[in-house]
Structure 1
Amino acid sequence: MNAKGELIARLVGQGQGAPLFEAVSRGPAHERLFRVQVIAGGRVLGAGGEGRSKRDAERLAAESAMRALDGVTDDGPQNAGTKDAGPQEAGTQTPARWPIYSGVLEAALETALDLAPEDATLDEVRADAARLYRDLLAELGHGPEEEG
């Protein structure tokens, strides 16, 4: 079974119903980039996924959602909405998470993509989007939440 099928089976088995895979695409037809978020029970699960095809983006989003259901956080810039607030020293409490506001996150990604130079890598655009997102939330007074 594939990641998307496993996620659907898991959520349906838990009585949550099938998840919604929200996809948006960006860029010209020859360089199309898909971004998919998984929504279940009215909330975004995981960091989502990006890929050159909708199928790849859905697979990555499903894998991220399953990790989130398992309580494992994704590492890396693609996880802008849930990225840890910063480095953590040994022996300190669990790091805080930034709250997820999908509309704000989408706008930060669009802005980062618009401002990126043509030779920017996807990871560079993701990192810029994460910075924009965190800076905007900090300015609005919606800083990181402490994990329990």
Structure 2
Amino acid sequence: MKALIQRVKHANVSVKGDVVGAIDQGLLALVGVERGDSEADADKLLHKLLHYRVFSDADDKMNNNLQQVEGGLLLVSQFTLVADTRKGLRPSFSSAAPPADGERLFHYLLAQARAAWPKVATGEFGADMQVALVNDGPVTFLLES
């Protein structure tokens, strides 16, 4: 599993013009599921999402994690994140998990996140979504399980 995370001042995701998930300060995580990923991969990724130190401390150093700043976590499924772009001018999605597996693992990650942290929001798996954010920094990292 992969997650492209962005430290945000606020972010939201809309489907058909309706906001379905929103957070204030925290992390926006665009999540891609690859073939062969498992619940163990989702658990490892969630641990990183909750504990990765990307927020500033009193000395303006990236020493605090999401929980320490009591931030929100906005999880958005994005299968294009796992595209192979090494050859040609069109992405290949052969490494992406089949839709049923991707949906199952994304919902597993979401359930585990909600059990571990009270400030979790999400988009809608497989929907045409619009994501709005104010990137803080900007600070962006690619996490892999």
Name the TM tier (shorter chain). under 0.3
Q: Which has the higher Rg, Structure 1 or Structure 2?
A: 1
TM-score (norm 1): 0.24
Select the structure that is richer in strand: 2
Which is helix-richer, 1 or 2? 1
- State the structure with bigger RCO (CA 8 A, min sep 6), 1 or 2: 2
Report the TM-score, using the length of structure 2 for normalisation: 0.24
